[in-house]
Structure 1
Amino acid sequence: MLGYSGTAAATFTSTDELIGATESFLEEAVVDYLQRSEIQGRHEIRVNRLDPRLRLALCDEPLTTTLESPAQPLGRVTTRVRCNGSAPWTVFVPAEVRLYRQVAVLTRPLKRLSVVKASDLSMVERDVGQLAQGYLTDPTQAIGKKLTRQLNSDQIITPAHLQVAEVVRRGDQVVISASGGTVNVRMPGEALTEGAPGQQINVRNLRSQRVIRARVVGPGQVEVAM
């Protein structure tokens, strides 16, 4: 019959001691990681239950704990708890570190190609360890951009859901700027294709009627190199 007398218990390292060592190590590791990464958030550490039948010799030295996997102390992690004393042993303790951050979600359904406005967004707390597709912590990262697909209300917005919205549309009257050295020329034009900032589009020079390629720099503004 298995006994749990005080004498017997004193000859083994308790599972509570293993859990405590893991929690203390992870708490320090998570705080250090968040500070180094300049990440703002709330975290929770949950250590898995260990088999109460586990029998490890009482360690005559302080236990050492290291992170076995993954590289960062977030999500599902495994720690290595080791005794380096006269009767050495090693045990692996699984745990989960949850990181809660404020992320952007939609306040209403939006169709594909809709331009996101500030009123379409709300910031809510979510466990980002579960968001494998990514997330946004700043609403300005989404405002003014178009959706690449239809999204539902309360759905978390990811970078893959967004694309830069066009600021010049086909048929728009634009100002063509051309500069080189000390020379800066401006002339009227007509956009023949639409484009977002940084994109190259076709533009008709209304003075020469020539079609040129120009880079969109803003609403109604394009530029070409001389």
Structure 2
Amino acid sequence: MRIVIFLLAAGMAITSPSHAAEKTTAAMIRQAAQQFLDHYAADREETGQTVTYSLGPLDSRLNLAACPDGPSVSFSSDPTETTQPTLSVSCDGQRPWRLYLSTSLEIRGQGLVAARPLSRGERITGDMIATQPIVINSVRRGAITQRDALVGLEVRRSVNSGTIFTPDIVTQPEAVSRGDHVIIIARSGSISVQSRGKALSDGRVGEQIMVQNLRSAKTLRAQVTSPGHVEVPM
């Protein structure tokens, strides 16, 4: 596997054995990367997922400035969205440096899939969800893995049985429908005043809709905060 390496603010040198301890070698970098990925795999294991990974070879002659506290390793791309995440390995010592390593990594676990064909507009219930083993980070747009986060959402488009649930398949259901009577909350800091109103359009939580105050007959723009409730600034 090809390893992409970028070096910043550090000279690359081949040193004599007497100066080897003053340098960060390829072996040290590889060990730091493996320890980081082992910790990541252990964290994932606690959630019932299994991680496998591999690192490509590094030039054994690589010598970078010494890093007294050891190299710092992190993901520079989201490992849950790709099987080829990039690792950032760096040192913030007197002679700072950074390099990037590509890796091959798979996260295996139970994915949530449609237990039967679903039609657009259906509200998802527990019996509509099944599980099957998947490589989670190979699913385009990301797999939904939390059942509680899925129940109650609405299907955006028809899907077949066995389809993996991803964020683009589902959406929040409408919390307010046109013509519904709603509670209008006018808020300013800790002070709030409630009144009754009527929704003039459909809306989901977080969306803005037009509502009519039933007492004053004024039309207001309000944000949907929960089913049957909207909020306007005072």
TM-score relative to the length of structure 2: 0.59
Q: 1:118 to 1:209 in 2, by over 3 A?
A: same
Residue 130 (1) aligns with residue 138 (2): yes
Residue 113 (1) aligns with residue 128 (2): no
- Find the counterpart in structure 2 of residue 164 from structure 1: 172
Name the amino acid aligned to 1:124. Answer: Q
- % same residue: 29
Return the index of the structure with the highest Cα Rg. 1
Q: Paired residues, what number?
A: 168
Cα displacement string for residues 40-86 of structure 1 (whole angstroms, at most 9, x for unaligned residues): 31245699xxxxxxxxxxxxxxxxxxxxxx976x8479xxxxxxxxx
Q: Say which of 12, 15, 34 aligns to 2:41.
A: 34
Q: Where does 1:1-226 land on structure 2 (aligned, <5 Å)?
A: 30-35=37-42, 40=47, 41-44=49-52, 75=83, 97-181=105-189, 183-226=191-234
Counterparts of 2:122 and 2:52, CA distance in 1: 37
Higher relative contact order (CA 8 A, sep 6+): 2
Q: 1:182 to 1:150 in 2, by over 3 A?
A: closer
Q: 1:173 to 1:76 in 2, by over 3 A?
A: closer
Name the amino acid aligned to 1:173. Answer: H
- Return 5+ residue gaps in structure 2 as ranges: 1-30, 56-75, 86-102
Counterparts of 2:53 and 2:191, CA distance in 1: 63
CA RMSD of aligned residues (A): 3.6
Counterparts of 1:101 and 1:141, CA distance in 2: 17
Contact 1:168–1:196 at 8 Å: present in 2 too? yes
- Return 5+ residue gaps in structure 1 as ranges: 1-23, 48-69, 78-94
Contact 2:112–2:147 at 8 Å: present in 1 too? yes
Counterparts of 1:164 and 1:220, CA distance in 2: 15
State which drifts further: 139-148 or 154-163: 139-148
Contact 2:204–2:224 at 8 Å: present in 1 too? yes
Counterparts of 1:25 and 1:117, CA distance in 2: 45
Deviation at 1:168, TM superposition (A): 0.6
Q: 1:42 to 1:180 in 2, by over 3 A?
A: closer
Contact 1:26–1:45 at 8 Å: present in 2 too? no
Name the amino acid aligned to 1:202. Answer: M
Name the amino acid aligned to 2:121. Answer: L
Cα displacement string for residues 8-59 of structure 1 (whole angstroms, at most 9, x for unaligned residues): xxxxxxxxxxxxxxxx999866423324678731245699xxxxxxxxxxxx
Q: Per the alignment, in what secondary structure is the counterpart of residue 100 of structure 1?
A: strand
Contact 1:117–1:143 at 8 Å: present in 2 too? yes
